[in-house]
Chain A
Amino acid sequence: MKNQRFIREVRDPSRRLLFLTIGVSILFFVLLMRLWYLQIVKAEEFQNLSENNRLRLAPVAASRGTILDRNGEILVDNLPSFSITVIPQEVTDKDGLLKSLSRLVGMDEAELAEKWLKGSKRSRYQPIILASNITRDQLEILEENRLSLPGLDVAMHPIRAYAHGLLGAHLFGHLGEISEQEMGNVRFKGYNPGDYVGKSGIERNWEKELHGINGGRQIEVDAMGRFLRTVSERSPITGNSLVLTIDLKLQKAAEAAFGEQAGAAVALDVNSGEVLAFVSNPSFDPALFAGRLPAETWNRYLTDKRHPLENKALKGQYPPGSTFKIITALAGLEEGLVDEDTTVTCTGSYKFGNRSYGCWNRKGHGTVNLRKALRESCDVYFYRLGERLGVDKLAFYATKFGLGKPLGIGLENEKAGLMPTKAWKEEKYGKKWLSGETLSVAIGQGYVLTTPLQLAAMTAVVATEGTVYAPHLVKRVVSPEGTVLQEFHPAVVRRESLRKETWRAVKEGLFAVVNERGGTGAFARLYEVKVAGKTGTSQVVKLSNRRGQIPYQYRDHALFVAFAPYDKPEIAVAVVVEHGEHGGSAAAPIAGKILRTYFEGTGVIKKPVIQKTYSSATPREISKKTETDTLVPEEQNAEEQNGYD
């Protein structure tokens, strides 16, 4: 009995002990299974996570490629820029640090504090940029006081250096920090936040070549995000260089020729379509966009009536004025409506319907043939020719010469200009085309709009007698090591075959504009080279009274297109001087200077031994020879009168 109780007492618990043993083993097995899951099944995933934990990629920005002119002169380059950064985690006395920093380098303490606040919202271990683009002096002061400024660091990154200051700013374009929107774009794959990208001009359109490949340092950090060591390093790869078609000397001369005047000039190599000069005046300082643009500069740019930020050569759309008469003449000749000897009598106005369309010369030009009509820019001749052609024929020919649509030069937002047709007006305004409007179009007024680039291209086609080249800005893409990666050869887009006599008659007329007595373009005359051209004055607003001082923004635009040499053309130029009033006096001299510089470059014109600037010497020389041309303003706009007649 006692024995049995003993057995029961012992055996019973030992059975329960067996259960406990099994239970214990099961729970251990659960742990083991979980470990299997984490360490075997999910091992790779967790290994990646642990790598991400410990490794950070510190981007190292690549230097952008340089931009060179056609002769290898540096236009845009890089230089090192220093910025002050701080890691909040490592700073114990924030206010003290900011105070001494502002005292040492002379920066606004409140501004520093604001930047700190903004930056520290991200992570206490990420460096905040307190000031970028600090001066050498500031850098030196910081280096000297490094020990008393714990947590501060100086970071170096390359920024753009513009070798010639404001020169070609619109063409080269400016850089800006990559926007959030751009970050999401596939075009900017591989870019880091804070990267600078081209925002306009060449910088923007050749971003892919210029940017280079960012490098990176893989650094090991601890749980606090503190730098421990560099694990691996990938050097950044400098972007490719661009050799432009631009000729620095020509660009410089063209910009200088504008002086304070607003406007645009484009010079093209007529035998290749290469853009030799691409000017929009006044310019802006692209370097200011690399850092934070000072508000006052920004305001100055915005309030300047001359619109320095606008790329006028590409986006400025101006009525071509009398330069359009080239098209009207070509169309008339080709259509057989006139020949060289066809004459028209200009009495100073032309009555069409119940309205009178005036010639700029109210006294009238008398008997006018094509040569004289071009030379003296007789409006009545072209009213009558335009009337017979009709607007659609005009548009047909204008389109042949590249007007009314973008040329595709490879810059952003190239403007198309406007070449109206009957159908266009019907669609746009739902109104029938009025025959009177054709008269305005025939002299480059009314709806017609052109860009300086289009005018240059149009002139180049006239110069080559129909060979249309694609205008382009980049000659070569060159790797940092100097290997040519891409070369852009002149490409003939199409040939416009007009009759030989058509070309000859118009070109003779254009020659007369510059070189004959009574010609409106005498200011562009060179004695060493035969220049042919056409003046233009395009109306900004209709004014009944043109006497006295007209406010700047209401003054007419002055235009001039030219090519040279007359016999064997090499270069075509288009100049627009905004509110310059008269093409012959405002735009032609600039074209003349550009042409002179060009032919000095080719050796055709010997530079005078005693350096004289043209502005003082040449025009006076010309004015002595052709007094009447220079004293009398060449043309007045036609519509000015007819609007009120």
Chain B
Amino acid sequence: MIDRRLFTNFDWGLLFLVLIIAGIGVVNIASATASYSMQDTSYAIRQVYWILIGLFIVIQVCSIDYHLFADVAYWFYGVLTVLLLVVLFVGKTTMGATRWLNLGLFSFQPSELMKIVIIMVVAHYLANFTAPGRLTLKDLVNPFLLLGVPAILIMKQPDLGTATLVVLIALSMILYAGIRLRAIVTLLLAALPTVFLGWHFYLRDYQKERVLNFLSPERDPLGSGYHIIQSKIAVGSGGLIGKGFMQGTQTQLRFLPEQHTDFAFSVFSEEWGFAGCLVMLLLYLALVLWGLNIARRCNDHFGSLLAVGVSAMLFWHIIINIGMVIGLFPVVGVPLPLFSYGGTSMITTMVGLGILLNIRMRRFMF
């Protein structure tokens, strides 16, 4: 059923890279959750299951020609936008935010999937321009509407992290598609008052708190600033070579917040030190550049835009998550792809990887 050529063009290198990162992630989760109570020891094992499920999804995504995504993009987009609206009204509320949709068997986060769908929609829209690189302000109205509607809905949940990601992914793709200098300048000028107004009218108090605490964690060392401080202590105390596997005191004594999910990299930094972090950063850099390389080598515009979108998704997750862990960004709930524990993040990432592999193996097929 699957073309033999597809199999020979399969990017084993990328898959290998992904499995290495995910494997390190599993080991790290084992350490991060070692101090949890006995029945929780299965986090690492469950993460392995998620990886296996993810690989299955990769195969599924690969088996469909990615050009098909262009046709269904708007449909997906429409359905997800509706689901985002539904979530706002009937969603499951955890930790003050309504992000989940209970589908009986499992819970589902439409905003996660929106990251993928926005890539498809924006790629589809931009690919139709005959004069790439010359996008004017007028040309940007539609894509901005496309990304603006879900971004605002996600922000309403409220999920600042995902909303930011959706915007950043789309902007990265627009940047890649090429845009007139004048448009960029105009956008930047427009962004300033938007930020100002958004701060005053749109951000919730706890979100403002987070931003302020990020700017000065000592504001409230036992409150929300606590996470940043403890994470910085964990990372910093790792030193050059770290405290060793399962030896991180910050981790094992549970000074870290959400240490198997959003702060997993903090655990890794403490136990493996700067040396380990360097290796991880190189692996992630390789992953992102690999994605961009697929975009470069792809012969059709839609495919390369798609690949850039997926790369951008991975890239911004990595930058925001690690930046948050080391105190460069405020604490927003953004997981580190392949590294943080959790099925949703794993599946989203694997769908993205499936798309990359899909593009890579079909680059000669027209």
Which residues of A pack against B, CB within 8 Å?
9-10, 12-14, 16-17, 20-21, 24-25, 27-28, 30-32, 34-36, 38-40, 42-43, 45-47, 49-51, 53-54, 220-224, 228
Contacts and interface: CB of A to CB of B under 8 A. Distances in A.
Contacts of A14: 296
Contacts, number: 133
B19 interface: no
B240 A40 contact: yes
Nearest 7 interchain pairs by C-beta:
A46-B236, A50-B237, A39-B274, A43-B239, A38-B236, A46-B237, A222-B253
B284 A49 contact: no
B72 interface: no
A17 B269 contact: no
14 contacts: A13-B132, A16-B133, A20-B175, A24-B315, A27-B315, A35-B235, A35-B278, A38-B327, A39-B236, A39-B274, A42-B236, A43-B237, A46-B237, A222-B255
Interface string B227-251: 0001011111111100000000110
B147 interface: no
A206 to B, nearest CB: 42
A21 B278 CA distance: 18
Given A12-B178, A50-B233, A223-B253, A39 B239 contact: yes
Interface in B130-163: 132-133
Given A28-B285, A46-B236, A34 B328 contact: yes
Given A25-B289, A222-B254, A223-B255, 19 more contacts: A9-B132, A13-B133, A13-B178, A13-B295, A13-B301, A16-B176, A20-B172, A20-B292, A21-B289, A27-B319, A31-B281, A31-B328, A35-B235, A35-B277, A35-B281, A39-B235, A45-B236, A50-B250, A53-B233
A559 to B, nearest CB: 65
B326 interface: yes
Contacts of A9: 132, 301
B292 A17 contact: yes
**Chain A contact residues, majority secondary structure:** helix
Contacts of A46: 232-233, 235-237
B288 interface: yes
B323 interface: yes
B213 interface: no
B347 interface: no
Contacts of B295: 13, 17
Interface string B302-316: 001000100000010
A414 B232 CA distance: 57
A459 B197 CA distance: 92
Most chain B beta carbons < 10 A, residue from A17, A24, A25: A24
Contacts of B323: 31, 34
A369 to B, nearest CB: 87
A623 B47 CA distance: 105
B308 A40 contact: no
Interface residues of B, number: 47
B273 interface: yes
**Chain B contact residues, majority secondary structure:** helix
Nearest to A43: B239
Contacts of A51: 249
Contacts of A21: 289, 292
Contact of B284 (A28, A34, A39, A40): A28
Given A53-B249, A228-B253, A12 B239 contact: no
A321 to B, nearest CB: 68
Nearest to A32: B281
B178 A24 contact: no
A610 B273 CA distance: 87
B281 A28 contact: yes
Nearest to A38: B236
Interface of B: 35, 132-133, 172, 175-178, 230, 232-240, 249-250, 253-255, 269, 273-274, 277-278, 281, 284-285, 288-289, 292, 295-296, 299, 301, 304, 308, 315, 319, 322-323, 326-328
Contacts of A24: 285, 288-289, 292, 315
Nearest to B236: A46
B56 to A, nearest CB: 29
B316 to A, nearest CB: 9
Nearest to B254: A223
A54 B253 contact: yes
Contacts of B304: 13
Contacts of A36: 274
Nearest to A221: B253
Contact of A17 (B254, B285, B296): B296
B274 A49 contact: no
Nearest to A53: B255
A39 B285 contact: no
Contact of A35 (B249, B284, B292, B326): B326
A24 B253 CA distance: 35
A345 B237 CA distance: 96
A35 B296 contact: no
Contacts of B178: 12-13, 16
A27 B239 CA distance: 22
B363 to A, nearest CB: 12
Contact of A38 (B172, B235, B296): B235
Most chain A beta carbons < 10 A, residue from B172, B285, B301, B315: B285
Contact of A50 (B234, B240, B278, B308): B234
A25 B282 CA distance: 10
B130 to A, nearest CB: 9
B253 A12 contact: no
B57 to A, nearest CB: 25
A40 B239 contact: yes
B181 to A, nearest CB: 13
Given A20-B175, A223-B254, A54 B292 contact: no
A54 B178 CA distance: 52
Contacts of B322: 31
Given A40-B274, A42-B236, A223-B255, A12 B289 contact: no
Contacts of A31: 281, 319, 322-323, 326, 328
B311 to A, nearest CB: 8
B296 A47 contact: no
A35 to B, nearest CB: 5
A175 to B, nearest CB: 35
B220 to A, nearest CB: 16
A225 to B, nearest CB: 10
A45 B235 CA distance: 11
Given A25-B285, A35-B326, A223-B254, A16 B175 contact: yes
Contacts of A43: 236-240
